[in-house]
Chain A
Amino acid sequence: MKLLASPAVRVGLSISIATGLYGVSFGALSVTSGLNFWQTMALSLLLFSGGSQFAFIGVVAGGGSGLAAMSAATLLGMRNGIYGMQLNALLHPTGWRKYVAAQLTIDESTATSTGQTDPDEQLRGFWAAGIGIYVLWNLFTAVGAVAGAGLGDPKQWGLDGAAVAAFLALLWPRLRGREPVAIAVVCALATVLAVPFVPAGVPILIAAVVAAVIGWFSHGRSDEGLEPDVDPYAQHHHGHQRAGGHHGAGPTKAGA
């Protein structure tokens, strides 16, 4: 088949499987944090942005309000607006395609597209990864939600530990170099200090404000923190970096 001969499509499909699979963990953690099956599916179908979805259920699981959950998810979704600008300049979608492309604009589809140099390949990579991840992410969310609902006491299965691991795994690929580590440490400290004094969920928003202030006033890489959770090119070009220096011993990416 001709499409499969495209390197971008092949990368797009392998990233779809790698990313789609971890929809299982989202589905399971979502139902055990108190959302029902359809609320879980609504997040994957409509919100469709892994980090924001995990943020929403993470705040709910910690006893935070719906408003705090919505705020954390929304602040985490800001980077998709930046990706939208990049992709619009790169792919120029028109008419209805613009609205569909917007929904598929996430870390991995952006990274698959921008990792190609040929404009046709950039286009194919975006759609292959975007559609592939969307389909598999929702399929595996449903599988995880059904499985999670049958688990009984989530603590007995260590699912609260799974949530901690999931957030660290989302953070990890973004800790390239000293500065992002410093930002993470400062925000973690701000969170711990805030927990006893404000309602659940609010410490996360305080950390977001701290991070935003740092970003506004400091001058570092402009794409810092915009690494995908799963790097589509991790296996293909070792040490692939979209910008900035090479950190050989730095944190790794989940393998595609």
Chain B
Amino acid sequence: MSLWIWLLLACGLAYAWKLVGYFVPAGLLKNPRMSRVAGTMTIGLLASLTVVNAVASGQSLAADARLGALAAAAVALAFRAPFLVVVLIGAGVAAVLRLMGWN
């Protein structure tokens, strides 16, 4: 039940960010710092989420089939594969590595 509360709060805050943009005075747009922070935070969060999902297992670090998925996804992206193909390759490589006994 409590996950619902955090989830709906996240939805409300996401809409608040979007709406704020339409109501702040245009002058604030001129401050490049805010858009810099929004951009660097996007990069930092996505990099962190990639790493956490690849090597974290609770509070410990693990090297398992997910690392293979990460490497395969990077190769697919370098070859300009579309998003969905990259995701399927990530799943396929992790599944195959697990079948081969690398957990």
A-side residues, CB < 8 A to B, are: 18, 21-22, 24-25, 35, 39, 42-43, 46-49, 51-52, 54-56, 58-63, 65-67, 69-70, 72-89, 93, 98-99, 101-103, 105, 155-172, 174-175, 180, 183-188, 190-192, 195-200, 203-204, 206-208, 210-212, 214-216, 218, 220-226, 229-230, 251-255
Q: Which residues of B contact A225 (CB under 8 A)?
A: 38-43
Q: Which residues of B contact A196 (CB under 8 A)?
A: 59-61
A-B contact pairs, 9 of them (CB 8 A): A62-B52, A85-B26, A158-B98, A191-B47, A196-B59, A204-B49, A212-B41, A224-B36, A252-B80
Bound complex: CA A79 to CA B98 (Å): 37
Q: Which residues of B contact A187 (CB under 8 A)?
A: 43-45, 47-48
Bound complex: CA A251 to CA B21 (Å): 29
Report if A203-B56 is in contact (Cβ < 8 Å); known contacts: A48-B14, A165-B70.
yes
B-side residues, CB < 8 A to A, are: 2-11, 13-15, 17-22, 24, 26, 28-29, 32-56, 58-61, 65-66, 68-70, 72-74, 76-78, 80-84, 86-96, 98
Chain B interface mostly: helix
| Cβ-defined contact, A102 with B19, below 8 A | yes
| Cβ-defined contact, A200 with B42, below 8 A | no
Contact of A88 among B22, B73, B86, B89 (CB under 8 A): B22
What's the nearest-Cβ distance from chain A to residue B48, in Å? 3
Bound complex: CA A207 to CA B97 (Å): 29
What's the nearest-Cβ distance from chain B to residue A60, in Å? 7
Q: Which residues of A contact B21 (CB under 8 A)?
A: 80-88, 102, 105
What's the nearest-Cβ distance from chain B to residue A188, in Å? 5
Other than A87-B21, A197-B59, give 13 A-B pairs with Cβ distance below 8 A.
Answer: A39-B4, A48-B14, A49-B14, A51-B46, A66-B2, A73-B10, A82-B21, A161-B69, A162-B88, A168-B70, A180-B43, A212-B44, A254-B81
Contact of B36 among A24, A93, A220 (CB under 8 A): A220
Bound complex: CA A156 to CA B96 (Å): 9
Q: Which residues of B contact A203 (CB under 8 A)?
A: 48, 52, 56
Report if A73-B14 is in contact (Cβ < 8 Å); known contacts: A66-B7, A82-B38, A223-B39.
yes
Contact of B41 among A78, A88, A185 (CB under 8 A): A78
| Cβ-defined contact, A78 with B37, below 8 A | yes
Q: Which residues of A contact B40 (CB under 8 A)?
A: 183, 211-212, 214-215, 218, 224-225
| Cβ-defined contact, A155 with B98, below 8 A | yes
What's the nearest-Cβ distance from chain A to residue B44, in Å? 2
What's the nearest-Cβ distance from chain A to residue B42, in Å? 4
| Cβ-defined contact, B94 with A207, below 8 A | no
| Cβ-defined contact, A21 with B10, below 8 A | no
Q: Which residues of A contact B43 (CB under 8 A)?
A: 171, 174-175, 180, 183-184, 187, 211, 224-225
| Cβ-defined contact, B41 with A58, below 8 A | no
Bound complex: CA A190 to CA B49 (Å): 12
| Cβ-defined contact, A195 with B56, below 8 A | yes
What's the nearest-Cβ distance from chain B to residue A65, in Å? 8
| Cβ-defined contact, A62 with B53, below 8 A | yes
